[in-house]
Structure 1
Amino acid sequence: MSEEATEYDASHIQVLQGWEAVRKRPGMYIGSTGERGLRQMVFEVADRAVNEVLAGRAGSVDITLTTDGGVCVADDGPGVAIGETGDAGGPGLEALFSHMQAGARAGGRHDVALGFCGAGPSVVNALSRRMTAEVRRAGTRWVQEFARGVTATPLTEAGTATGSGTTIAFWPDADIFGAAEFSFDRLAERFRELAFLNQALEISLTDLRRPDAPRSVRLRFPGGARDFVAFLDGHAAASAPMDTIAFEREDPRMAGVMEVAFRWCGCPEERVRSFANSRPTVDGTHALGFRDGVTAAVTAYAREQGLLTAADPGFDADRIGEGLTAVVSVKLDHLELEASTHDVLGNSEVRACVRQAVQAHLGRWLKEQPERAAAVIDRIIQGACRD
């Protein structure tokens, strides 16, 4: 290879300025330019509205897929502040939609992050051909428009307002997303998870893209993780040999709170869903602690009942997990996520906390419900014999 061909200097470096970087490399901010990326756009805008509800400042969030390919996200909170600085020192309206990472926040157990990497609505603006904001605050209605990362119109007073709230609408730029479309089912799946994991949350999702066949779901689950387990079981719930065990516990050792619900049913699969600060995880210390606790409680009960002798090994965790449906959710002040995709919980102290709580609650249930406990143990023993 010639020296001329291998020469490389500063003239070969391409520097992307401002929103040009987002539009040139959208996958770095929303994951893809397909359906997944469009979904993340919705989450980045809905993030603020969801947290308004969880903070007690709003009652519900309404999301609509419109007939012209846009998305509208509305809440009934106090309305985004229209000045340069918003409530609690946060960004005002224009900064929220035109300044990179203007919506960044400290996080913690009471904060739910929906977006890919917390890029915020400003990135949605950069990737949209048009974006509008309507704020109803202190009796006045304000409107402003944005496009492709910048402010398109000045903030304008548009009359009086009844009630308060914020409505954001955006239309993805076809130059970036092509013919990709939003998936109603995938959006509903994630918002349903959030409603199960946050009992105060109420979300509606409506699809008006086909006027002849509109779709709509309203998601609110006061039963929390208990309702989530019933949903995961579906028709298999009728064959469950036990009621759902569900509890919440705060544990200062892990600086957070856990919510756990589980039961065995007639199906052979194990369905254990875990979450950290309402974010889905594939594994981690909370899931390990749950399995530790279930295994310890079942093994101890079987020994007490003479079903296992002192010389017998304890039950295998995989065998105990057959037919087990569970939701394990922790909300921590200081979240430690591992793996390149940040979907493995790493907080070491969580494992012991969850294990002890699960072992205590399941152990108590086994003693208080001997007939159903016998059905669970018999199922496990018969499965072990088949092996």
Structure 2
Amino acid sequence: MSQDAITYDAARIEVLEGREAIRKRPGMYVGSTGERGLHQLVFEVADRAVNEVLAGRADSVDIALTSDGGVRVADDGPGIPVEAAEDTGGPGLEALLTRPHIGPKPGDRHSGVLSRIGAGPCVTNALSSHLTAEVRREGVRWVQEYACGVALAPPKAVGPATGSGTTITFRPDADIFGTAQCSFTVLTEHFRELAFLNRGLDISLTDERPAGGSRSARFRFPGGARDFVVFIEGPDAVPVHPHIVSFEQELPLTAGAVEVALRWSDSREEQVRSFANSRPTPEGGTHAEGFRDGLVAAVNASARQRGLLAKADPDLGADRIGEGLTAVVSVSLEHPEYGGATCGTLNNATARACVGRAVREHLGTWLEEQPEQATIVIGRILRGARH
């Protein structure tokens, strides 16, 4: 054994916290030092603004990719408190931009997508060469600037404010991210999806970088998951039934709620997308399993009630029932439990039974109240099952 090993003690342990830890190991906080990491910087700041809208404190969020390689995120909420806050022991604005876990409570089911580890805008600040925060609050306009996560001066009142809100402009640190650039297409897909899942959200994205002029997109979907199903189906889809089946229901046993929308089309492809607290769960989980349980139970019960399945016939399976089905299953939970390294699976045990019951009840009611449509849907499933 070497002498170094023998003398190894606490003095040799390097303890990194806050900004230093983030800059030392950026991949642990934003996933990579490439394009993916840049997008996460945007999400860390945008999520705070989105939560202002979802909480009813703001009406809209505007995001811009600026021509100099920076990003600007603005909301029209009341403005981040600049004065000392009792719950943080320091300036509200500076605490938000320098301390992890300052902001909406992690797991709040009314929040938007939570960041990778829930650290918030301080991650973006630490990984930016320059960041400027502008707060318009109670008639005063405040500005504070940072370099590599360090405040250059306290927040300063620079004059009267028109309206209220918060604007955070940052430039990712090129020493960390090199020449990587944000993708307008990827950001468009992310914020469009977020708007589908949160019907009160009004969010715009502008790319000011193209030499030929800026391009922009605005996302607001009053139909929520119903609009999402239409989007997923695509313009060439031929629906089996004209109306989308949809419902929202509180789930007291899971301390949450579920929203479901679905429709069958003349296709053999199944497209079921599941989400938990606006986070995609591509690997499914208990909410997706509950959806399938309820789907199978409702369809089989209706088929037997209508005599479309004889007593001797076996139940239709989830694979057959899912042919041509497009669906969105979105749960909002106060305490979501994710599994896997990428958090792509929901593990809340009670979610399966609760979602299953809700789907069986609402889809079963629709099949009962729409006998003609029920016959068409089940007939189409049966024809597919017998081919």
TM-score, with normalisation over the residues of structure 2? 0.93
**2:71 paired residue number:** 71
* Kept after mapping to 2: 8 A contact 1:84/1:95: no
Q: Decide whether aligned partners of structure 1 residues 21 and 255 sit closer, same or farther in structure 2, where only a CA change above 3 A counts.
A: closer
CA deviations on 1:221-280 (whole Å, 9 max, x unpaired) are 111111111111111444443421011111322221111100101222111111111111
Identity, in percent, stands at: 61
Distance 2:44 2:318 in 1: 38
SS in 2 for 1:292: helix
1:214 aligns with 2:214: yes
Distance 1:196 1:163 in 2: 28
- Counterparts of 1:30-41 in structure 2, within 5 Å, are 30-41=30-41
- Counterparts of 1:215-364 in structure 2, within 5 Å, are 215-281=215-281, 282-364=283-365
Query: What is the RMSD computed on CA atoms of the aligned residues?
Result: 2.2
Distance 1:186 1:68 in 2: 19
- Deviation, 1:19, is 2.4
- Counterparts of 1:1-387 in structure 2, within 5 Å, are 3=2, 9-10=8-9, 13-16=13-16, 18-85=18-85, 92-103=92-103, 105-281=105-281, 282-386=283-387
- Deviation, 1:4, is 6.8
Distance 1:192 1:296 in 2: 32
- Deviation, 1:91, is 5.8
- Deviation, 1:193, is 1.5
Distance 1:100 1:249 in 2: 33
Distance 1:192 1:45 in 2: 17
Which region of structure 1 is more displaced relative to structure 2, 376-385 or 6-15?
6-15
* Kept after mapping to 1: 8 A contact 2:84/2:91: yes
Q: Decide whether aligned partners of structure 1 residues 372 and 17 sit closer, same or farther in structure 2, where only a CA change above 3 A counts.
A: closer
Which region of structure 1 is more displaced relative to structure 2, 229-238 or 215-224?
229-238
Q: Decide whether aligned partners of structure 1 residues 228 and 8 sit closer, same or farther in structure 2, where only a CA change above 3 A counts.
A: farther
Structure 2 unaligned regions, length at least 5: none
Across the two proteins, how many residue pairs are aligned to each other? 385
SS in 2 for 1:272: strand
Which region of structure 1 is more displaced relative to structure 2, 374-383 or 294-303?
374-383
Q: Which amino acid aligns with 2:177?
A: F
Q: Decide whether aligned partners of structure 1 residues 317 and 58 sit closer, same or farther in structure 2, where only a CA change above 3 A counts.
A: same
CA deviations on 1:357-380 (whole Å, 9 max, x unpaired) are 211222222233333222222222
* Kept after mapping to 1: 8 A contact 2:320/2:384: yes
Q: Decide whether aligned partners of structure 1 residues 17 and 201 sit closer, same or farther in structure 2, where only a CA change above 3 A counts.
A: closer
Q: Decide whether aligned partners of structure 1 residues 69 and 122 sit closer, same or farther in structure 2, where only a CA change above 3 A counts.
A: same
* Kept after mapping to 2: 8 A contact 1:196/1:227: yes
Structure 1 unaligned regions, length at least 5: none
* Kept after mapping to 1: 8 A contact 2:298/2:361: yes
SS in 2 for 1:261: strand
Distance 2:87 2:373 in 1: 53
